[in-house]
Structure 1
Amino acid sequence: MFGFLGTTEFSEGHPASENLKHCSHQLGVHPDYRNRSIGYRLKLAQRRAVLEQGLQLATWTYDPLLSLNGYFNVRRLGVVCNRYIRDAYGSMRDGLNVGLPSDRFDVDWWVDSSRVIERVEERSRLPELSDYQKQGAVVLNPAHRGEKGLVYPPDHFSSPENTLALVEIPSDFLRLKDIDFELAQVWKFQTREIFESAFAADYKVSDFLFTREREEPRSYYLLARSRAVEGER
């Protein structure tokens, strides 16, 4: 795990020390030791270190189409996001990114917020998909399952109108990409458009949900109007 100090914004006439944050650059776990919550424990250790420095904010980027990362970052750690960076790292040749733009979410982790504390200390039951649907959340891009068990996005998607909305992504984007690269491109560019337009309309990613429908895994981001994201800071 590697990170460094950064600043939240440039403000003429104010020293950088007033706007410090922790930039979490990279975290990795050796393949032999994955699926043991080591990554999660490392992030909790990072949170303690950030708090000990007197900082409130840590930021990092990740690929929004990787559902495991979405669940880990948003659901478990409690990050929020309203920044989408197109092709953040330029052309990359690794197995994850080759042939696709390196689009990323740029997320905020307010380490001492009630939202984060509630998650990392597991103080209460978190809402499920049905809870959000009862509050009026609808899926902007409901997918359908097609050949080879792959999920296909709709030809057209809706814009969010209510306080809450859901954005579907493939539950296993890497498998989908390996089988049908053109379909992976469609998902990449459609979700890019959805998130960019939603963020411009003052929505934030505030939760991530795994569920099963007819025994098939489904994955959703929850968008919420910024003013409706409770305990963010």
Structure 2
Amino acid sequence: MTGPDVRELCRIEEFEDVLRLFDEIWRPDPGGAPVTVELLRALSHSGNYVAGAYDGETLVGASAGFFAAPAGEALHSHVTGAVGGRGAGLALKLHQREWALARGLGRITWTYDPLVRRNAHFNLTKLGARPERYLRSFYGAMYDAINAGDESDRVLAVWRLTDPRVVAAARGERWPVEVPEGAVAGLADRDGAPERGRTDAPVVLVGVPADIESLRLRDPEAAASWRHAVREVLGGLLDEGARVTGFHGSGYVVERRVP
């Protein structure tokens, strides 16, 4: 696949470039950066994952992760940031997958905001990962240009590296997502507001807003109503043991265990 060149990073100058890139993406308050140069140095030195994506000599994306429990089975991808439109996010994930497989790991995990539709589509459709846990206010208060003013709910995405849909995604193929007949709308967008429906069917569709980041700035109250609705519906379903089987259109496809 063509795209940015991805390589592991090990020099202080490279870590400083990563911090500058992340500052441009998140624009955090002082002291609120997702990582520090010192942490990147420690992760790299101890054999964890720190990599950058380059378009020529320009850094356009970076990712850092660490080995996770149980030992020898998983990598947790702590932070990934990329300039849009360069293919850096996908290139980093594919490099990360090969890196993990070479070390005998079977899965990679990371967290993401379930309300950000483009991230959900990327994680589930382009990569074949699946959200497996809903984590309420996971990071506490966050002070950056993207997350400020909202609660930091996240879902834990699990990327099972040899799953057939993941192998297909790594080849650039799409695993078809089918919405079974009889699926019901557990949460839908109704004129910009969340409208709740039934969640007791075998398959429940959980919609998310088109652009939560813009909505936070334009209408914080509406954004908060989406946060709480998705927390209750998607979070509640996952707590009950339901499985997210894909992302279709504007929301999650969730298969619910029904007696």
Which category describes the TM-score, using the shorter chain as reference length?
A: 0.7 to 0.9
With over 3 angstroms needed to count, the CA separation of the structure-2 counterparts of 1:125 and 1:52, relative to structure 1, is closer
Q: Which runs of 5 or more structure 1 residues have no equivalent in the other structure?
A: 9-15, 146-150, 211-218, 227-233
State which of 181, 187, 208 in structure 2 corresponds to 1:135.
Answer: 181
Give the aligned partner of residue 252 of structure 2: 221
Give the aligned partner of residue 214 of structure 1: none
Give the aligned partner of residue 100 of structure 2: 50
Give the aligned partner of residue 12 of structure 1: none
Q: What pairs with 1:85-164 in structure 2 (closer than 5 Å)?
A: 85-123=135-173, 126-127=176-177, 131-132=178-179, 134-145=180-191, 151-154=192-195, 156-162=196-202, 164=203
Kindly state the Cα deviation for residue 95 of structure 1 after the two structures are TM-superposed: 2.0
The code of the aligned residue for 1:195 comes to: L
C-alpha contact 1:6 1:21 (8 A) present in aligned 2: yes
Corresponding position: 1:28 with 2:81: yes
CA distance in 2, matches of 1:122, 1:65: 25
Q: Secondary structure at 2:158's aligned position in 1?
A: strand
CA distance in 1, matches of 2:116, 2:173: 27
Tell me which of the two structures has the higher relative contact order, counting C-alpha pairs closer than 8 angstroms and 6 or more residues apart.
1
Kindly state the Cα deviation for residue 125 of structure 1 after the two structures are TM-superposed: 5.7
Q: Secondary structure at 1:59's aligned position in 2?
A: strand
Give the aligned partner of residue 243 of structure 2: 204
Q: What pairs with 1:1-12 in structure 2 (closer than 5 Å)?
A: 1-8=63-70
CA distance in 1, matches of 2:122, 2:200: 24
CA distance in 2, matches of 1:38, 1:93: 25
Kindly state the Cα deviation for residue 122 of structure 1 after the two structures are TM-superposed: 3.8
CA distance in 2, matches of 1:87, 1:46: 27
Count residues in correspondence: 196
The code of the aligned residue for 2:65 comes to: G
C-alpha contact 2:184 2:198 (8 A) present in aligned 1: no
State which of 200, 222, 239 in structure 2 corresponds to 1:183.
Answer: 222
Q: TM-score, normalised by structure 2?
A: 0.71
With over 3 angstroms needed to count, the CA separation of the structure-2 counterparts of 1:25 and 1:125, relative to structure 1, is closer
CA distance in 1, matches of 2:64, 2:233: 31
CA distance in 1, matches of 2:142, 2:254: 29
Q: Which runs of 5 or more structure 2 residues have no equivalent in the other structure?
A: 1-62
Deviates more, 1:171-180 or 1:62-71: 171-180
CA distance in 1, matches of 2:154, 2:175: 29
CA distance in 2, matches of 1:63, 1:124: 23
Kindly state the Cα deviation for residue 135 of structure 1 after the two structures are TM-superposed: 2.8
C-alpha contact 2:189 2:207 (8 A) present in aligned 1: yes
Kindly state the Cα deviation for residue 200 of structure 1 after the two structures are TM-superposed: 2.2
The code of the aligned residue for 2:194 comes to: P
Give the aligned partner of residue 206 of structure 2: 167
Structure 1 stretches of 4+ moved >4 Å? none
C-alpha contact 2:133 2:239 (8 A) present in aligned 1: no
